[in-house]
Chains A and B, each alone.
Chain A
Amino acid sequence: MKPVDAAEIVRSAKEGKIVDRLLYTDREGKKIEREIEIPFYKHQLRIVFGQNGLLDPRRIEDYIALGGYSALAKALFEMTPEQVLNEIKKSNLRGRGGGGFPAGSKWETTCNAPGEPKYVIINCDEGDPGTYKDRSLVEGNPHRVLEGLIIGAYAIGSRQGFIYVREEYPLAVENFGIALKQAEEYGFLGENIFGTDFSFHVKVHRGAGAFVSGESSALMNAIDGRLGEPRIKYVHTSTSGINGKPSNLNNAETWATVPLIIEKGADWFTSIGTEGSKGTKIFSLVGKVNNSGLIEVPMGITLGDIVYKIGGGIPKEKKFKGVQTGGPSGGVIPEQHLDTPVDFDELTKLGSMMGSGGMVVMDEDTCMVDMARFFANFLLEESCGKCIPCREGLRVLHKILSDICDGKGEDEDMQTIEDIAETMNEASLCALGTTATNPVLTTLRYFRNEYELHIKQKRCPAKVCKALIDYYIIPEKCQACLICLRNCPEGAVHGGKDMVHWIEQEKCTKCGSCYEVCNFDAVKKLSGELIPPPPPEGMKPLRKGRS
């Protein structure tokens, strides 16, 4: 749809007609009239962020018109704080930021912990690559998140709240700031909310971009003005957090779910989902999948349904290889487990996790060792460096994985990886270190063969690892079109007009330009195979139609 189509759309809408040529066409060429019937939406249940498209996030009136703040009114006028707390407990709402800890129990801990004041905090420090669900909520429907926070504050007995939001989300910072102001003007926030004796204030704290600061104790250190790194905590932040006071931290998505539960009741909420995981979950579906984007699905939907029904399968008829759930420290789940339901405990059983809702789909062209190396590198850069297992473990882990990708792997490397991983898992200070080994451990578990091929045969089956592949032009397919020859930055392609091209292996830097530009599928990647000798000098291309 383009701006020029606007006039036609308005005209048709006035006549109650559909603009046929602009309709969504599915893979079979069938035209679909209603959004809800599009496969991408049909299998979703968008109860938490379904309103995003219906309102202007900078107009509180839009949110109110959609029933906004009525849950807050219900909580304040019809329920005691204990009743609100019990409703959340009954709903079995589990934390959407990664851990999956029951929100109700956390609230109760803070509520009953000695010490005043008590704090409530929104965690919007979403630092995972490829994940943007919290951003979409705080940018697109800030009042929803805020309403949840105010209800939580009422239940817990807090007068001061914070939102910890990444500096890299300027629009989220801005929209939430506007939301705070508007809510105060309407008397939903500030002194004597709705004329009751409940008062509550919220401050925006902008994070400086460290991934580890999303960890609860690190986040509270940062709000306190200290270094944003985790502290040793066997006493939870819900008992001793900001300033040593009881502080309840929940993810933005968790807070956004709260108004729904209060409005429709815990019984309604628990009717959605699995035994152990209730409600819906938002995922950032990305990677090698036809339909990517933010999706909200009921808990219990299988990974296969997400990839194939919502995601529309893998592009270019490639084969599915794995799906990584839970962000950079999540594990990769292979094809044989695609029938696994989306559920906190089921994903953990497979060595992965729900995490913050990242979902990266990988096809046959993904090298699992290279993938594990990529995430080890990300975490190595994001580790705060405070504790030995995480800092030094990731350093060595990343080096071993890089060596394997570079064809320098040794037989005992897999055992060494497992040794280091065990120590990191059990001994690290915070969850960054204890979960950092998930990508490497799950790929070792489900794709061990790939590691063995890299180490023993110096072969990369997905043909990704540069050191282990060679490019070769199949003489019988080459049409001598000169395109790869001209694009090669190293001058490694020889041949000429009407002469079959060939690659001088010593000069080749394996940049893949020839592979990308060839229109005849003549450039092939080889790994662990002998490279055939160049064609006889002056060999003419075999043209189609010629014998």
Chain B
Amino acid sequence: MSVTLKIDDKTVNAKEEMTILEAAKEADIEIPTLCYHEELEPYGGCRICIVEVEKGGRSSIVASCGYPVEDGLKVKTRSAKIDKMRKTMIELIAPTTGEIGGKLLTLAREYKADLYRFSSRVVVDPTKCILCGLCVRRCAASLWDNAVGFVGRGIYRRVVLFPEKSQNCGVCQICLEVCPTGKIPSTGPINSIPFIDDVLAGRK
């Protein structure tokens, strides 16, 4: 089954099981993402891929990576409102990452984000990690099964290595391919992600 929707004034045909992001990709319409990977399930964590959808006269903001396409849907991938929100989110995440590069920096430039807007409000050791979960999810999907994972809640959340699984780690190095900030260097996660024991004991 195929559905027809409108993305930024372009009429797009998409398969019923597709998300807005996938449909946009096929139609060569760019929607920025940080936590999306085409081989993994949508996560909805970074919220950078938000778009405005209009359905039955009512418009709302949704994350395009998870929102299924519908017949007659009108999608706006850029608007003053969306740009402002993307800018705010980049500004909010910037102080926790420290010096940024890669995709995040490109986005920051495009949306004219002031990376130091909240730096006086957020006093933390920058980690270079935006908690997109790509490494965690990619690892879970690989044969090594959850060598890296999340611990902690809210602002205490972080990515750690689980010792009992770590002997396998460093073999596939897939996690460093998906990391959007360069936190995981070519030497692999072992050197850049702390062990859970060290984190729990407060050593790292």
- Which A residues are closer than 8 A to B by beta carbons? 210, 227, 231-235, 380-389, 391-396, 399-400, 403, 419-420, 422-423, 426-429
27 pairs from A and B in contact (CB 8 Å cutoff): A210-B153, A232-B43, A233-B66, A382-B153, A382-B154, A384-B153, A385-B131, A385-B152, A387-B44, A388-B45, A388-B46, A388-B93, A389-B47, A391-B131, A392-B89, A395-B92, A395-B122, A396-B92, A396-B118, A419-B84, A420-B92, A423-B84, A423-B88, A423-B89, A427-B61, A427-B89, A428-B47
B178 to chain A, nearest CB (A): 17
**Is there an interface contact between B155 and A385, defined as CB atoms closer than 8 Å?**
yes
**Is there an interface contact between B155 and A391, defined as CB atoms closer than 8 Å?**
yes
- CB of B188 within 8 Å of the partner chain: no
What residues on A are CB-neighbors of B33 within 8 Å? none
- CB of B42 within 8 Å of the partner chain: yes
**Is there an interface contact between A419 and B47, defined as CB atoms closer than 8 Å?**
no
- Which B residues are closer than 8 A to A by beta carbons? 42-48, 50, 61-63, 65-68, 81, 84-85, 88-89, 92-93, 96, 118, 121-122, 130-131, 133, 150, 152-157
A451 to chain B, nearest CB (A): 17
**Is there an interface contact between A227 and B45, defined as CB atoms closer than 8 Å?**
no
B199 to chain A, nearest CB (A): 15
Given the known A-B contacts A392-B96, A423-B88, are A429 and B44 also in contact in the complex, defined by CB atoms under 8 Å?
Answer: yes
Docked complex Cα distance between A388 and B154 (Å): 10
**Is there an interface contact between B122 and A396, defined as CB atoms closer than 8 Å?**
yes
Docked complex Cα distance between A370 and B125 (Å): 27
Docked complex Cα distance between A403 and B122 (Å): 12
Docked complex Cα distance between A386 and B43 (Å): 9
Most buried by B among A392, A399, A426: A392
**Is there an interface contact between B153 and A400, defined as CB atoms closer than 8 Å?**
no
**Is there an interface contact between B92 and A427, defined as CB atoms closer than 8 Å?**
no
**Is there an interface contact between B50 and A427, defined as CB atoms closer than 8 Å?**
yes
What residues on B are CB-neighbors of A429 within 8 Å? 44-45, 47, 63
CB nearest to A434 among chain B residues:
B61
CB nearest to A384 among chain B residues:
B153
Docked complex Cα distance between A429 and B131 (Å): 14
Docked complex Cα distance between A7 and B108 (Å): 78
What residues on B are CB-neighbors of A399 within 8 Å? 121-122
A348 to chain B, nearest CB (A): 16
**Is there an interface contact between A427 and B85, defined as CB atoms closer than 8 Å?**
yes
CB nearest to A393 among chain B residues:
B92
A421 to chain B, nearest CB (A): 10
Add 12 more A-B contacts to A383-B153, A391-B155 (CB < 8 A). Answer: A232-B44, A232-B65, A234-B66, A234-B67, A384-B157, A388-B89, A389-B85, A392-B92, A394-B154, A426-B85, A427-B50, A429-B44
